[in-house]
Amino acid sequence: KVRDMWTVVIEILTSLEKEKEIVDHALQGHIGQYVLNGSSVAFSIPQLLAQRVENDVHQHWSGNVYEDGKLNFLMVIQLLNEALRTLRDEIHQSELTPHLEYIKTIIVKYTEILQTLQSIRLRLNKRYYASKSESISREQEDWKERWTNFLNQSPLNFILEHNPVSNVQFI
């Protein structure tokens, strides 16, 4: 039981070690060392960003970057946001322009290919597909010619000759 209690005590001490370091750090006077007050920061705004902010009628800009000799962090964050929007817009435009030209060239090529294929289809239709009535009448003519060449007479005469029952005379 003593060993189990000793391990519990060791676990509690290790978990409290980070908290002890924080308290020691505060007692040594290092607390205000990392406070941002903006007094030692030199801040310059690029001309393009300044023009964009001045010309932006939809965004409400109030205040200066420096107020009472100290940096106005709200204004700095607004400027950084505007700078990021400007960068995003420029990247978006530069990405779209090459893609747009590439897509336009592809559209032109595929349009030409489509027109070529349509003209080929029309030529094939004219060459190989006559109207149905023409093809049927042509087939009938071909069969009559074959029968006459093979039997030396028309098919109807051949049937009437060999089948006397069907040879009916009308009065």
6-20 per-residue burial string, b: 16 or more CB within 10 A, e: under 16: eeeeeeeeeeeeeee
Query: Which residues are CB-neighbours of 138 under 8 A, at least 6 positions away?
Result: 130
- Taking the C-alpha atoms of residue 2 and residue 6, their distance in angstroms, rounded to an integer, is 6
**57-113 tens-digit pLDDT:** 666 666 677 777 777 778 888 888 888 888 888 877 776 667 778 888 999 999 999
- 15: which 2 tokens? 């978990």
Q: Is the pLDDT of residue 167 over 70?
A: no
For residue 76, what pLDDT is reported? 81
Instruction: Please give the distance of CA 64 from its chain centroid, rounded to a whole number.
Output: 42
When mean pLDDT is compared across 38-42, 85-89, 94-98, 166-170, the lowest value belongs to 166-170
- 40: which 2 tokens? 């030692």
Residue with tokens 């400027």: 79
Q: What is the pTM of this model?
A: 0.36
The shares of helix, strand and coil residues in the chain, as percent rounded to the nearest 5, are 75, 0, 25
